[in-house]
């Protein structure tokens, strides 16, 4: 087959490039600047806004969150 050598070399170089990159910072661990109870309340309120109004931009989410 004419494409086996080229595709093997290409996939090998992609494999090496992918695994040679530096790992990303773990962003799942967030250290909130507020107490955990307050952070939970804020995140719950934001989740409710997104659940009710659907996909929003960040600005629109904050606008809806500030409404009483």
Domains of the chain by residue range: 32-68
Cα gap 19→23, rounded to integer Å = 9
Percent of the chain with pLDDT over 70: 56
Whether residue 1 is predicted with pLDDT greater than 50 in this model: the reply is no
- Nearest 5°: the CA angle 44, 29, 37 is 35
pTM: 0.47
pLDDT digits (tens, 9 = 90+) for 30-53: 677 889 899 889 889 888 888 888
Distance of CA 18 to the CA centre of its chain: 19
Give the model's confidence band at 58: pLDDT under 50 very low, under 70 low, under 90 confident, else very high. Answer: confident
Residues 6+ apart with CB under 8 A from 32: 38, 39
């Amino acid at each position: 087959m004419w494409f086996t050598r080229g595709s093997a070399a290409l996939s090998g170089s992609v494999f090496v490039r992918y695994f040679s990159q530096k790992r990303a910072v773990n962003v799942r661990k967030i250290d909130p600047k507020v107490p955990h109870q307050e952070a939970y309340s804020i995140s719950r309120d934001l989740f409710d806004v997104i659940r009710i109004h659907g996909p929003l931009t960040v600005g629109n989410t904050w606008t809806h969150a500030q409404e009483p």
